[in-house]
Structure 1
């Protein structure tokens, strides 16, 4: 499919989605959010895609925020709809995506950009990355899940400080805060993310998908994550991947998972 704001490349079952608005520092507008939703929707249905890497074009920014010019004159009702639709179409969609999503954060990840990175299952940062949620400096709050996901990742106190001060942290601080898993040189960022994707793909992708559901359940209101884990564990016993994995282990050979 042809897009105006994003690029796609698939290689060795790894789909790299690149937000490509370099003149706008890859800022998220409605059209880009819709295109990202469509790209993820297609990736969900494409058996060739096993892992998704999400990044931004150029060296300056992953996503420098939302496109403020689009909503500067919105009413409260329009603002609420903007947040609700964005969360449904993209941010929650990515967070609950059944295939692993790795954010490769290069440069600025601010506002909606950091919220998008946090929606991914984990994050790798280049050494020039800068992250923050500056929304209160505009008289608004994070609306794409930032007030929920940042405390889950870095803790309540650090999240309160980051959001209240509207300040940025660098890649090493993000690593210290557990906001990112790894920091690498910018030239190595995508290759590092792809190598992690390859490690994931050596395992049962059916089991990986079940693990994503179980882990996410712990962060859903009114859901007992332990119950979800027990159910997903039980379902695993009915998969061909389980039969292959246990057979390979018992026969001391490498597993060749069918993905079913």
Structure 2
């Protein structure tokens, strides 16, 4: 199956689904398409609420594409790649509609950033999380503002420093990332759809104003995340990062 980003609209619910073959890790082209699709859904008056999900049943999102990270040879290219995550987060922040997250499996690195930028997030018990950037030689500079906003500085720094440890879904829920956890995807989907149906019947103007209030204090994120992408773009060209990714890919066979 090829990589894709799809938007389906049904009775006021806009469902955005992304998929890539490498555990839903995100290359630059997919990040660009995802940001554009979120913006499009936010501007579509026929859509009252957005559901964000990924394809497959194992991983929600494995973060940045290692193949693309390995191919980066200069700081400007590195910055542009990490701006892809910045644009997705900012598109979610600016969309004047609530975004419901559906996390069916593990979220790593940038995947946690995407989940954190949703307004209400459901997950299964298999949705453990790991903020792995430091282990790769970079750091969660672009996604950490979204994660800190949702989970707090203490939880974010705990994950960022202990970059090789997975935290289970219940821990993530206790820290505020997930609002509800389910035993399986079927039960989660029932809850996702139930909430979406309720929101479709709510006042769009009220929801848009509520979203602005909830995201108050993030008005500088266009500039902030650009600066953070610059930092990551410089670090990704280091020998440490190149060597780590090369060795990791060898282990995968």
State whether TM-score is above 0.5. Answer: yes
Contact 1:54–1:102, Cα closer than 8 Å, also in 2: yes
Contact 2:12–2:48, Cα closer than 8 Å, also in 1: yes
What is residue 94 of structure 1 aligned with on the other side? 92
SS at match of 2:53: strand
Contact 1:83–1:144, Cα closer than 8 Å, also in 2: yes
What is residue 84 of structure 1 aligned with on the other side? 83
In structure 2, the CA distance between the partners of 1:38 and 1:84, relative to structure 1 (3 Å rule), is closer
What is residue 137 of structure 1 aligned with on the other side? 135
- String of CA shifts for 1:79-119, please: whole Å, max 9, x gaps: 2332235313x111112211111110110111111111111
What is residue 104 of structure 1 aligned with on the other side? 102
Contact 1:9–1:17, Cα closer than 8 Å, also in 2: yes
What is residue 187 of structure 2 aligned with on the other side? 188
Of 160, 165, 171 in structure 2, the residue corresponding to residue 163 of structure 1 is 160
**Structure with greater Cα Rg:** 1
Shift in Å at residue 70 of structure 1?
Answer: 0.6
Contact 2:25–2:64, Cα closer than 8 Å, also in 1: yes
Contact 1:83–1:143, Cα closer than 8 Å, also in 2: no
What is residue 12 of structure 1 aligned with on the other side? 11
What is residue 252 of structure 1 aligned with on the other side? none
**Cα distance in 1, alignment partners of residues 94 and 55 from structure 2:** 24
- String of CA shifts for 1:213-254, please: whole Å, max 9, x gaps: 1221234459xxxxxxxxxxxxxxxxxxxxxxxxxxxxxxxx
**Cα distance in 2, alignment partners of residues 120 and 158 from structure 1:** 18
Runs of 4+ that moved beyond 4 A: none
**Cα distance in 2, alignment partners of residues 7 and 84 from structure 1:** 21
Contact 2:102–2:121, Cα closer than 8 Å, also in 1: yes
How many correspondences in the alignment? 217
Contact 1:110–1:132, Cα closer than 8 Å, also in 2: yes
Of 44, 49, 54 in structure 1, the residue corresponding to residue 52 of structure 2 is 54
Shift in Å at residue 193 of structure 1?
Answer: 1.1
Contact 2:85–2:110, Cα closer than 8 Å, also in 1: no
Contact 1:14–1:194, Cα closer than 8 Å, also in 2: no
Of 45, 48, 65 in structure 2, the residue corresponding to residue 67 of structure 1 is 65
> In the alignment, does 2:159 pair up with 1:151?
no
Q: Runs of 5+ in structure 1 lacking a partner?
A: 223-260
> In the alignment, does 2:100 pair up with 1:123?
no
Relative CO higher for 1 or 2, CA cutoff 8 Å, sep ≥ 6? 2
Contact 1:106–1:129, Cα closer than 8 Å, also in 2: yes
**TM-score, scaled relative to structure 1:** 0.77
Using the TM superposition, name which of 3-12 and 42-51 deviates more: 3-12
